[in-house]
Amino acid sequence: MSAPVGEHDAVPPVLSPGRFAGRSVLITGAVQGIGRAVADRVVREGGAVTVVDRADLIASVADELTAVSPESIRVTPVEADLETFGGARAAADAALTAHGRIDVLINNVGGTIWARPYHEYSADQIEAEVRRSLFPTLWMCRAVLPAMVDRGAGTIVNVSSVATRGVNRVPYAASKGGVNGLTSALALEAAPHGVRVVATAPGGTLAPQRRVSRGGDARTEQEKTWYSQIVDQTVESTALGRYGTLHEQASPICFLASDEASYITGSVLPVAGGDQG
């Protein structure tokens, strides 16, 4: 399902001006989707932002975000493959070089590549799904933690999914279950160092047509049927009976990333219209 292509051009319906003023915020997966919406909101709320993506479009996205910054704060783009620790470390180093510290990390990289029953996945496809939807979050948490621990402060917001209980995407579900486990376990380790670790679990979300394909687009009639089963199950599981919007996903992520959530850690917040996963 898709929303109007211009959704990223719209000002979020609710803003908290100055909420991220003086904060260095690193946002991954920022070229499109939830990551792009989060970056837009953080910039409008005064954050000094480093945006990361493996697509070279990230440079033009940074220019677009700089243009809407209320203080004309330059947004720092980083092109990196976060499926590797080297890429994650390069992203963290770039943020530290540009802003001197990382106050907030928001992990958005991930997403189902293929839609099919588990017995129809090849071994290579299973590994690719896990690399896409678990390792970028694992690596980025590891890359930023030393700087946060040294400062005795920081917040990590992971974007998980309610699809840990869903059809036709078992490897993705397992990856997001790993993100949930990472969130709760790391929160216990990090709390004594003044670092919070939280997550949201989005449900079905409307978004503009993807600027960069995940690579597993449904092509055959069978693949289209398997994908339709995901959509049908999502709508049936959602109490509100509809998909959410990008703004409805970005808003709780930014709340958890802010000082308004200073007494919340280790929690995974479903943002799915009543679908608990």
The pLDDT tens digits of the residues spanning 173-209 come to 999 999 999 999 999 999 999 999 999 999 999 987 7
- pLDDT given for residue 74 in this prediction: 86
pLDDT at 83 over 60: yes
With a cut of 80, say whether residue 156 has pLDDT above it: yes
What pLDDT shows up at residue 4?
36
pLDDT tens per residue across span 32-72:
999 999 999 999 999 999 999 999 999 999 999 999 998 77
State the DSSP H helix or E strand holding residue 77, giving kind and residue range, or none if neither.
Answer: strand 76-79
- Active-site amino acid positions: 172
Task: Give residue limits of the domains in the chain.
Answer: 14-271
Give the type of residue at 117. Answer: P
Tell me the torsion sign for CA atoms 73, 74, 80, 86: negative
Give the H or E element holding residue 39. helix 33-44
pLDDT classification of 215: cutoffs 50, 70, 90: low
Beta bridge partners of 51: 27, 77
* pLDDT score for 214: 61
CATH of 14-271, one of 3.90.230.10, 3.40.50.620, 3.40.50.720, 3.20.20.100: 3.40.50.720
Task: Give the relative orientation of helices 85-99 and 135-151 as an angle to the nearest 10 degrees.
Answer: 40
Q: Could you tell me the pTM of the whole model?
A: 0.93
Q: What is the mean pLDDT of the chain?
A: 92
Q: Mean pLDDT throughout 91-110?
A: 97
Confidence grade of residue 145 (pLDDT, cut at 50, 70, 90): very high
